[in-house]
A and B are shown apart, each in its own frame.
Chain A
């Protein structure tokens, strides 16, 4: 199936730990994203990665680091996890940044920091 897939779907971890979330798309898209959705359902952009060029959102703490080994994969590594990092993280992809066809989202990773 063509899709954006994320792993793991659920992640429960203790404060201070380091964790990674993986994302892969087989849609042939050039651009991938990480969004964070908080408990109030607000979906906020974290990073955009277009053809190996990373665009950083300045409001994201530097504990968050995206890594893209190729244009089909975009992983998110989080260091020194904090309680406030608990949220659902969505990976998405699009053909181009300004796509008029919208973005395709992965199924999300629910991160709980205890």
Chain B
């Protein structure tokens, strides 16, 4: 069973701080990694994708990938209350046939 692990949280950070969300995966053949944001009662929304080791930045978001450690993270700079949501890590590997999701980390940004 290919697993994607996330700390369920909740992770609470003050407004303006950096939120750090982490994800580990078990399948070394994994090749593509995604972060989705899901507000309560809404559908998942793609924030970032990364498939090479290192950092990828998009606005306030930075995705980090370390394939040797089987670890992917999402940093949110200058966190806003509107960032409060569940963040889902998703992984694609050749041995699967769809994105495999973690259980999500609940983020709460307090004013």
Give the interface of A toward B (CB within 8 A).
33, 35, 40-45, 48, 55, 90, 97-108
Are B44 and A43 within 8 A (Cβ)?
yes
Majority secondary structure of chain B interface residues (helix, strand, loop or mixed): strand
User: What residue of chain A has the Cβ atom nearest to residue B51's Cβ?
Assistant: A100
Are B43 and A98 within 8 A (Cβ)?
no
Having A42-B101, A103-B99, A104-B46, one finds 16 other A-B pairs with CB under 8 Å, namely A41-B104, A43-B44, A43-B101, A90-B43, A97-B97, A97-B98, A98-B92, A99-B92, A100-B32, A101-B46, A101-B49, A102-B49, A102-B90, A102-B99, A105-B45, A108-B43
Contact of A103 among B46, B51, B104 (CB under 8 A): B46
A89-B88 Cα distance, complex, nearest whole Å: 16
Contact of A45 among B51, B99, B103 (CB under 8 A): B99
A-B contact count (CB 8 A): 55
A108-B86 Cα distance, complex, nearest whole Å: 16
Q: Distance (Å) between the CB of A102 and the closest chain B CB?
A: 4
Are A48 and B104 within 8 A (Cβ)?
no
Q: With A45-B98, A98-B92, A100-B32 as given contacts, are A105 and B49 in contact (CB-CB < 8 Å)?
A: no
Contact of B49 among A42, A44, A100 (CB under 8 A): A100
Q: With A98-B32, A108-B43 as given contacts, are A41 and B97 in contact (CB-CB < 8 Å)?
A: no
B51 CB contacts on chain A under 8 angstroms: 100
